[in-house]
Amino acid sequence: MKLVINEPASGKSFQTEVPKDKEHLFIGRKIGEQVEAGALGAAGYTLKITGGSDTSGFPMRPDVSGPRRTGVLLAKGPGYQQKKAGERQKRNVRGSLISDEIMQVNAAVVSAGAKPLAELFPPTQKEEKKQ
């Protein structure tokens, strides 16, 4: 499971891999709940779950209950981009409850710790393209 942490103060995002033995911190939680990030190496940070996506890329929506994937008639919000005014379409989305089928969890910083996130989660070097 990947965790993408958004820091509203700086406008930057940091990505990290959640170890298998720490995934229990997120499984069973809903969008909007807060999680202590001390077990993930970010002591003093409190994170608010803002969304995510499953293994097939379907986004999570806060207004769909449970961990299920379902078809919903959408007019706006995660999972649908409106092309014309008043247009609606049926789209497959994931519910607001995090399960073991969720591949990525998005979170925002609610309260910061002593160290900045840039030190705790340094950016990885992108692999050079083969020519």
Alpha-carbon distance of 121 to 17, in angstroms, equals 10
pLDDT digits (tens, 9 = 90+) for 75-88: 999 989 999 999 99
H-assigned helices in the chain: 117-120
- Please choose, from the candidates 107, 120, 102, 111, the residue with its C-alpha nearest in 3D space to the C-alpha of residue 5: 107
pLDDT at residue 119, rounded to an integer: 86
pLDDT grade, residue 127 (50/70/90)? very low
Measured over the CA atoms of residue 104, residue 24, residue 36 and residue 19, the dihedral's sign is: negative
pLDDT at residue 114, rounded to an integer: 87
What are the extents of the domains in the chain? 2-120
CB 74 within 8 A of CB 64: no
Q: Strand runs (DSSP E) across the chain, as ranges?
A: 2-7, 12-17, 34-36, 46-54, 69-74, 89-94, 102-111
Predicted TM-score (pTM) of the model is 0.86
pLDDT digits (tens, 9 = 90+) for 39-78: 888 889 999 999 999 999 999 999 999 999 999 999 999 9
